[in-house]
Amino acid sequence: MVTQLIQVVLLLANTCCTLLIALLLIRFFMQLFRAPFDSQIGSFVLNLTNWLVLPLRRIIPAIRGFDSASLLAAYLLQVLLLALVISLTTVFNVFNPGTMLQIAISALLALLRLITYLFIILLFAQAILSWFNPNPRTPLNRLIAPMTDPVLRPLRKIIPPISNIDLTPLVAILLAQIILIFL
């Protein structure tokens, strides 16, 4: 019974934390790449993350235009999630300096993996939009294009469209998959 209860707690914590971390990272990238927050998705991201980011901004200022509060909140939440997982599933003491260092490094790698997965999702959305609705003024395209264009623009110089179909998002997804192998 205790094992099942621990599994339920871990499932709920992992789901909630990963969703919030993903929203914090999306907020970070939307601000970094100047994607508009005036869309329905932008409003959704702001409404679900303001309670955590706005108080942190009083303590942690933006650094060179980077929304450091959102990024730090995502990292700290990942650290807390890993500490919870380790404390509930292993006999290791999370307050041991070696374990704390392992949690800090693992949280950074998990955050990098999640960033890569989010980018892959954005690239899939960009590919579908470019194939079926290439109008750059659609709300979803206005949101996704600023975040994917810095990677796709150099690839478009190398790989031209074939029959008006842009294959660069697929190449970028392949490159992101290769990065995931190393993370």
pLDDT for 116-131, tens place per residue? 999 999 999 988 887 7
Q: Which residue has the tokens 């235009």?
A: 65
- Collapsing DSSP to helix, strand or coil, 166 comes out as coil
pTM summary value: 0.90
CA-CA distance, 145 to 36, in Å (whole number)? Answer: 11
Render 57-80 in DSSP notation, one character per residue.
HHHS--BTTB-HHHHHHHHHHHHH
**pLDDT tens sequence across 134-164:** 777 778 888 898 999 999 999 999 998 888 7
The whole-number pLDDT of residue 3 equals 85
The whole-number pLDDT of residue 167 equals 85
Taking alpha carbons only, the member of 125, 128, 112, 85 closest to residue 176 is 112
Domain membership of residue 130 as a residue range: 2-182
The whole-number pLDDT of residue 114 equals 96
Overall number of domains in the chain: 1
- Collapsing DSSP to helix, strand or coil, 138 comes out as coil
**pLDDT tens sequence across 21-50:** 999 999 999 999 989 888 888 999 999 999
